[in-house]
Structure 1
Amino acid sequence: MRARQNRKFPRPARPSSMSTARVCVLLVVFSVTLAEDVNVKSKPVRLFTEEELERFDGTQEGQPIYMAVKGVVFDVTRGKEFYGKGAPYNALVGKDSTRAVAKMSLDPSDLTSDTADLTDEQLKSLDQIFESTYKAKYPIVGYTAARILNQDGSPNKDFKPENQPHFQIKDEF
């Protein structure tokens, strides 16, 4: 009986030192990759002026592509086919396009952060797209100065870093 079992289920061969080395290399590569992912996610966010944000409009090859919605700056580079140079939504990048997102518009007059006179339906749509598209798909790299500062340059007292997406601590930038 025992002889049959051994023939059916042969003893596994011991792994060679080459196999062990491959497993070690894979573990090291996996660890480094995981560490890089963690570093990317824990990068501090930064404050963007309008002029700084304009530099990330998808026109320069190799540069990231940034877009702001509701004053939150997203890295939309991974969606280059939508936001890159000559792409259908390229008009939205390099600026805060909150109004355009709310109205689902590419009209140049809507490419602004101004939400005055938007309907309740447009504001609801803006919140839904902000959460399900931008926050869910793209990393946050910063905030626009307009979200944090008043028009006169004084700090916006209503801005609470701890209530912002991806802020870990108050003095992060």
Structure 2
Amino acid sequence: METLWIYLLCALFMCTTLAEEDQKLKFKAASKPVRLFTEEELRKYDGSVEDLPIYMAVKGVVFDVTKGKEFYGKDAPYNAMVGKDSSRAVAKMSLDPDDLTSDTTDLTEEQLQSLDSIFEGTYKTKYPIVGYTASRILNQDGTPNEAFRPEDQPHFQIKDEF
């Protein structure tokens, strides 16, 4: 009987611990304030420099994918997707050079749903947000993009210095 209680307590403790870990995975807070990246700045974080983190943007949100170095690092299978916004490639599950872009025009409804699913279920839960691409926030002429709403972006803070 005593063994049964010990087993039940251990099982309860493990379930609680696993549930707590599951909750932690649902939201990865940035360790420092996020920043705005130009395409040129983002290219620096493509995994080619050992001492720099590896960044990848999806839907204009820049994620630190360094902990997935075996997938995104130099010579890794998905390295072509880092250092840029690869929204189209994620939506199409493609590594075709023509798809390594943020342009999601003319994607099918199924591809757009896939993009949203992977964005929410993989990137936002697994990797910290470190910034946004300038194109997500600003139009080509430098005016604010009306589609970007800071109140919908829990990590977005305007800072003078980073």
Structure 1 length as normaliser, TM-score? 0.73
Unpaired runs of 5+ residues, structure 2, are 1-28
Out of 91, 98, 106, the position equivalent to 2:80 is 91
For 1:78, the aligned partner's letter is K
Aligned pairs (5 A) from 1:41-120: 41=30, 43-120=32-109
Out of 150, 155, 159, the position equivalent to 2:148 is 159
Residues 46/130 of structure 1: CA separation in 2 closer, same or farther (3 Å cut): same
Out of 119, 125, 129, the position equivalent to 1:136 is 125
Structure 2 length as normaliser, TM-score? 0.78
Unpaired runs of 5+ residues, structure 1, are 1-39
Rounded Cα–Cα distance in structure 1 between residues aligned with 2:37 and 2:147: 19
Task: Point out which structure has higher relative CO (alpha carbons under 8 A, 6+ apart).
Answer: 2
Rounded Cα–Cα distance in structure 2 between residues aligned with 1:141 and 1:134: 12
Number of matched pairs: 132
Residues 107/165 of structure 1: CA separation in 2 closer, same or farther (3 Å cut): farther
For residues 41-76 of structure 1, what are the alpha-carbon distances to aligned partners after superposition, in whole Å with 9 as ceiling and x for unaligned? 452110000000000000001210000000000000
For 2:63, the aligned partner's letter is F
Task: Quote the offset at 1:155 in angstroms.
Answer: 1.2
For residues 108-142 of structure 1, what are the alpha-carbon distances to aligned partners after superposition, in whole Å with 9 as ceiling and x for unaligned? 00000000000000000000000111000000000
Out of 145, 148, 169, the position equivalent to 2:137 is 148
Larger radius of gyration: 1
Rounded Cα–Cα distance in structure 2 between residues aligned with 1:86 and 1:42: 27
Q: Does the 8 A contact of 2:35 with 2:132 survive in 1?
A: yes
The ranges of structure 1 where at least 4 consecutive aligned residues each deviate by more than 6 angstroms after the TM superposition are: none
SS in 2 for 1:130: helix
Query: How much is the aligned-residue C-alpha RMSD, in angstroms?
Result: 1.4
